[in-house]
Amino acid sequence: MRALPAVQEFLSAAQKTDTRFDTTLDAASEVEGKLVCNGPASIAGKVTGTIIAKGILVIEKGAIVEAQITAEQVIIHGHVDGKLTANISVYLTECAVFKGELHAPNVQMEKGARFDGKSFMSGMVRAADPDKDESVTSPVHKLHDHLEEFMDGTASAQSGK
């Protein structure tokens, strides 16, 4: 399964530099308790507890996360054990290991990703309102639009708009 082009661009940029993240925990970091991120965040170390991310959350390769996670969008390269709730999407790369309960309207997994648990995919697609000439929006459209803004450097600290 191929990732959305915007996700591929984001993954590529995220691997080259961490300057796009408001919060970065390196591989030597260990956090126990509640971690609140108000913008894009990258975790490469160990986190136990609760993570609340108001933007994109990237769990890097080698990271070990045992937590209840709430975020807009999550990209997993490392190990996650717990309950994950994403408002827009979850993307598991080929080296991702997820164990637990996942709630998201859109989930993508690359070949090789490991998933052991339950997945709940509640729909967030809303029909267009013909009186307002609105286009149909879905979690995929929101993710694509947000990632394009993020790559252009125009995303706000609060995502999901």
pLDDT band at 122 (very low <50, low <70, confident <90, very high): confident
Q: Is 157 among the domain residues?
A: no
In the chain, how many domains are there? 1
Over residues 33-50, the pLDDT tens digits come to: 999 999 899 999 999 999
Q: Is 97 among the domain residues?
A: yes
27 or 129: which carries more pLDDT confidence?
A: 27
Q: Domain of 35? A: 5-152
What secondary structure letter does DSSP report for 151?
A: H
Q: Three-class SS of residue 44? A: coil
Percentage with pLDDT > 90 across the chain: 57
Q: Is 65 among the domain residues?
A: yes
Q: Is 75 among the domain residues?
A: yes
- pLDDT value of residue 5: 53
Please enumerate, as own/partner, the contacts of 71-74 that have beta carbons within 8 Å and a separation of 24 or more.
72/146, 72/159, 72/160, 73/143, 73/146, 73/159, 74/104
Q: Is 161 among the domain residues?
A: no
- pLDDT value of residue 9: 56
Rounded to whole angstroms, how far apart are CA atoms 72 and 158? 9
Tell me the average pLDDT across 62-91: 96
Burial 16-51 (b: 16+ CB within 10 A, else e): eeeebbebbbeeeeebeeebebebbbbbbbbbbeeb
Q: Is 158 among the domain residues?
A: no
Q: Is 60 among the domain residues?
A: yes
Q: Is 159 among the domain residues?
A: no
Q: Is pLDDT of 136 > 80? A: no
The predicted model scores a pTM of 0.68
